[in-house]
Amino acid sequence: MFRSRQLPGIFLDYGGETVRGARTSSFTAPFTVEEVGECPAGDRVALAHLLQRLSARRAVGRRVHARVAIRPEGQLVQVLTAEPKRLLEPEYFATLCSGQLQIDPEKYLLSVLQAEDGQSFDPGRMGERELFFCGLPLAEREAAQGSLVDQDIYPESLELGTVATLGAVADHVRHCGFTTPVLVLEVGGTSSHAYVVSRGGVTHTRPLSSGLDAMVPLVQRNLGLKDFAAAKKLLYANAFDFSAMGPELTLGLAREVHALISHLEVRTGRSVRQLLNLRLPPKMGWLGLALARELGLEPLAPAIDNWLAARGITPAAAVRVAVGSDPGWLGVWGLMLRGEVQDAEQAA
């Protein structure tokens, strides 16, 4: 009598400057998280070591089958108020894409989800007006797939890391019974993005014009550096403690975020109490703390044990120690919460 082989699950989150990975006892919950690790993004040697650590028994030359999250530059993650009845009209959908989303739908891979629960858009639920549009340029998807295969990774699924993370945050908020929304920030170079997550899902999204590049002239002036390039290199290198300058450097970004929070309070009557910063390197923790102080918010430190246990996910003791309450791992947990992956012969 033959028994089906229980194959381990591999989850990889390309979260900006860091790749985080985990191995579980299977792809299908309930399972145990047996091993975790991380390495700098772009370091092929370090990534090869991480893959070997997560999949030590794979044969030489075999690709690692994994569920993968990426964060492409051209990704689209936005909540829109739409007319659901008209979404089935090609002209209306095209108008939304070219107008509010400012994209060419023929060049994008797009999904439309219910903002409340993250399920695929169902025309039968005509009461839903807040819809969650997410996607990426087709060219970036092809480039990402090619890059992964070139690094000996076969993506069983390829997802937007931001979407997986927001799903994890929404699930955590519901599990913990938070009564106030959480503000999630992705701080980028030329711009940033803000997301408001409550028990009802992702309720608001907004692009922000301020990013790390806007802080460079202040670094240059305060440190007396000769040119913009030197100041930018110092800021991005994370080799200097900018804690003392934090309030000044984050002032522009804090003003934009404060305007969003004020708009939310007027519109919904609800106040944001917690802040979660995504994609910030560990040495840029000063930025997250400065923003939280400026906005009067508490940094969100997810308590993973009870939450994950309720989802059939049990981190091993060493994993709990390694991960702690680091919000950087929310992308990995989000991948694990995204549903079941078929355990089949195609796995390596």
- Per-residue pLDDT band for 43 (boundaries 50, 70, 90) equals very high
Angle at 163 between CA 307 and CA 175, to 5 degrees: 20
| pLDDT value, residue 121 | 75
| Among the ranges given (12-26, 117-131, 233-247, 271-285), the one the predictor scored with the smallest mean pLDDT | 117-131
Instruction: Map tokens 């989303």 to a residue.
Output: 101
pLDDT, tens digit, 9 for 90 and up, residues 6-35: 578 999 999 778 899 999 998 888 999 999
pLDDT, tens digit, 9 for 90 and up, residues 317-328: 999 999 988 888
Among candidate residues 166, 160, 167, 151, the one with its CA nearest the CA of residue 41: 151
Average pLDDT (243-247) is 91
**How many CB atoms lie under 10 A from the CB of residue 131?**
20
Tell me the average pLDDT of the chain: 86
| Among the ranges given (16-20, 132-136, 153-157, 182-186), the one the predictor scored with the smallest mean pLDDT | 16-20
Instruction: Map tokens 């209306």 to a residue.
Output: 92
- Per-residue pLDDT band for 294 (boundaries 50, 70, 90) equals very high
Handedness of CA 154, 156, 158, 162 (dihedral sign): negative
- Enumerate domains of the chain plus CATH numbers: 9-72+141-168+302-336 (3.30.420.40), 76-135 (no CATH), 174-299 (3.30.420.40)
| pLDDT value, residue 128 | 56
Show the tokens assigned to 160: 């937007």
Q: Where are the alpha helices (DSSP H) in the chain?
A: 44-54, 90-98, 138-150, 161-176, 216-223, 228-237, 246-249, 251-268, 285-295, 304-310, 317-323, 330-336
pLDDT, tens digit, 9 for 90 and up, residues 50-77: 999 998 776 666 789 999 999 998 899 9
Q: Is the pLDDT of residue 339 over 60?
A: no
